[in-house]
Every structure is written in C-alpha cells, then in structure tokens.
C-alpha cells in the first residue's frame, strides 16, 4: 500500500507543467505598448516631438450625383455659398483642410470640361460677396469655362447675391433671381481695425522702425494720416473702376449709367431687373428652364458634384451658408467686394 502511494505520489510530482507562453507574450506586448505610449506622452509634453493624429477623413475626389431629369445631356448645378475667399477651411480637430471656394469651383469646372454631355451650368448663388481678388478670380474662371467649352451658364440668386457675388455672376449668359432676392452693392470697401483707443486705455504704445514713411501704412496701432487716406482711396477707386467696367461689359450698359447705379446701394430683384442688372425674376426651376432654352435642349438630366457620403435629394438641398467674417476682416488690410449690413 505504501509502495503504491509512493508510486502515485511520484507520478504526480513528475507530471508535466503547462506554461501559457502565448498569454505571457500577449501580456508582454501590452506592457511594451503602455511603456511606449507613456514615453510618447512624456516627450510630447516636454516639446521633444509631436504626434499628429487626424480625426477627420481625407478629402476625396468629387463624384457625379443625379438630382432629377433624364436624358444623355446634362445640366450641372453648382453652388457659390457664403463669403467668397480663396482661403481653405480647416478642422477644429486638427484634420486636413478642406478646399476653399475657388479651389472647389475650379475642381468642378475641370470635371465638367471632361464631360462632353454637360451642356449647361446653373450656378446657385447665396453670398454677400467677399475679397476683391477672390471675386475677380471666380469671375475669370467661370468666364473662361464658358468661352472655352461653349457651355451655357445661368447664375441664379437665392436670398442674396451682392457685391463680389454679383461680380462673379456677370460671367454668366443670363442672371436670374428669386422674387425676394437682394442684389447690387456694387462697390469696394476697405476693412481696417483701429486699436489706438484701446492701447491708450491700457497704457501700451507700439514702436515702429521702418525704411520709409509709408511702410507701416494701415497699421491698427496708429491713426491713418491724410497721405495714407489718399493712397488707399486711390487703390479703392482703381478697384471700383474695374468693377464698373465688368458690369458695363456684362450688362451692356454705359459706364456712366453703371456709376449711377454703383453707389453701393442694394436692390430688390424687381429694382435690379428694371435697372438692367439682371435678366429675369423667377425660381430655381425657371433658371433650369432658361438653361435648357439657351443650350437648345428638349430634356436634360440635372446633376451635381459631391464628395463621397454627401447627399442631396433635390435641387434645393445645399451646403450651409458659411458666413465667416474672419475671412473678410482678418488681420491686416482687406479690400472687399462685400456687403456687410
């Protein structure tokens, strides 16, 4: 009996011990990852290096989406919404910047150039205008597209199509507007912040050392001199003169008549039509009808270009209006074809 117990006891003492190497390796990897993360955090806080993690998806190429209609021939619907600027918009989460208005318009026009079935373009506008250069570039891109492709272009105002937005619309073959649209505001405005009063209150002075008397003209830290006002007014008059010439050419009005209309005031759609600034009052469907007539189309498919994941169930679906006054009144001097009520 004792011998049997000894044999059984010995058998138990020599039984193989199973070690979970997989579990230990997994635990070791977790420990290493934790250590690396802690080191990265410590180095990041000390400023040795930064880790850039994008929480927003990359901007992907535009895709064609059918809105309504049928047939081989197409009418492209394109939006001009918000402040007209060439600046890109970024993400508050540190993601990649989205293309600005000029970049997006050029991207859409380039895609339309490659599609010979696009016979007309309707530009839906809801904008108070924007920067002088951005508005002029937008006008140039639309006019160049129209001249090079022969595609008929109709600009249609929704709530507002003033100043730089009206400037851009002058590149179209026809301009239409809603019965309740506001347009006009033909002119130039210079935006400048004067911080001299604030600086006096807090007892701060700005010291400027420059190579010339007018090198610091427009600085918010001192009042404008009479000479500076004269220089800025000359620049504004030059930009205003270009606006007048573009209106005169696009609307077949004399420069004298345009100057009478272009004192900066806004117009209702009926006043604008009576003055010859637009062609027709109606709704978006009327703009598409106008486009079909100009392109001599009996039927057409209305399409738009969207990023993957975007959705538009009908012609009234559009992006939210981005009224970013920071784009128009940021640091430094800004010249604008812009209506700011």
The residues assigned a catalytic role are 163, 215
Residues in the chain: 341
At residue 27, φ and ψ (nearest 5 deg) are -65, -35
DSSP H helices, 83-209, are 101-114, 132-149, 164-169, 196-202
Contact call for residues 337 and 240 (beta carbons, < 8 A): no
Give the alpha-carbon dihedral of 310, 73, 139, 78, to 10 degrees. Answer: -20
CA 240 – CA 279 distance, rounded (Å): 23
Contact call for residues 153 and 76 (beta carbons, < 8 A): no
CA 11 – CA 15 distance, rounded (Å): 6
Report residue 2 as tokens: 């004792």
Contact call for residues 55 and 94 (beta carbons, < 8 A): yes
Q: Is 323 helix (H, G, I), strand (E, B) or coil?
A: coil
| Residue closest to 164 by CA, chosen among 247, 255, 104 | 247
CA 42 – CA 222 distance, rounded (Å): 45
Contact call for residues 303 and 74 (beta carbons, < 8 A): yes
Q: Is 96 helix (H, G, I), strand (E, B) or coil?
A: coil
Contact call for residues 177 and 154 (beta carbons, < 8 A): no
| Residue closest to 132 by CA, chosen among 326, 339, 335 | 335
CA 56 – CA 91 distance, rounded (Å): 8
């Amino acid at each position: 009996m004792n011998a049997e117990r000894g044999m059984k006891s010995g058998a138990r003492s020599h039984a193989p011990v199973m070690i979970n190497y997989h579990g230990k390796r997994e635990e070791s990897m977790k420990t290493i990852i934790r250590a690396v993360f802690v080191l990265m955090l410590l180095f990041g806080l000390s400023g040795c290096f930064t880790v850039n993690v994008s929480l927003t998806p990359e901007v992907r190429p535009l895709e064609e989406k059918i809105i309504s209609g049928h047939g081989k021939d197409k009418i492209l619907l394109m939006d001009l919404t918000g402040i007209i600027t060439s600046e890109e918009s970024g993400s508050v989460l540190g993601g990649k910047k989205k293309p600005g208005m000029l970049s997006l318009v050029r991207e859409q026009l380039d895609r339309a150039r490659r599609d010979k079935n696009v016979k007309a373009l309707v530009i839906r506008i809801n904008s108070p205008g924007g920067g002088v250069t951005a508005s002029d570039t937008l006008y140039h891109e639309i006019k160049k597209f129209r001249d090079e492709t022969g595609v008929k272009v109709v600009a249609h105002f929704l709530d507002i199509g003033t100043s730089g937005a009206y400037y851009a619309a002058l590149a179209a073959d026809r301009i239409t507007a809603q019965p309740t649209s506001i347009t006009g505001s033909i002119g130039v405005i210079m935006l400048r912040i004067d911080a001299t009063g604030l600086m006096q209150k807090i007892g701060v002075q700005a010291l400027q050392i420059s190579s010339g008397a007018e090198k610091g003209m427009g600085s918010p830290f001192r009042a404008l001199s009479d000479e500076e006002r004269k220089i800025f007014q000359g620049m504004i008059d030059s930009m205003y003169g270009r606006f007048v010439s573009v209106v005169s050419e696009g609307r077949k009005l004399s420069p004298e008549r345009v100057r009478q209309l272009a004192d900066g005031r806004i117009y209702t759609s009926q006043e604008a039509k009576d003055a010859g600034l637009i062609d027709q009052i109606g709704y978006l469907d009327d703009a598409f009808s106008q486009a079909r007539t100009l392109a001599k189309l009996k039927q057409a498919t209305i399409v738009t270009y969207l990023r993957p994941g975007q959705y538009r169930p009908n012609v009234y679906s559009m992006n939210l209006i981005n009224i970013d006054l920071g784009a128009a009144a940021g640091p430094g001097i800004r010249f604008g074809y812009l209506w700011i009520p």
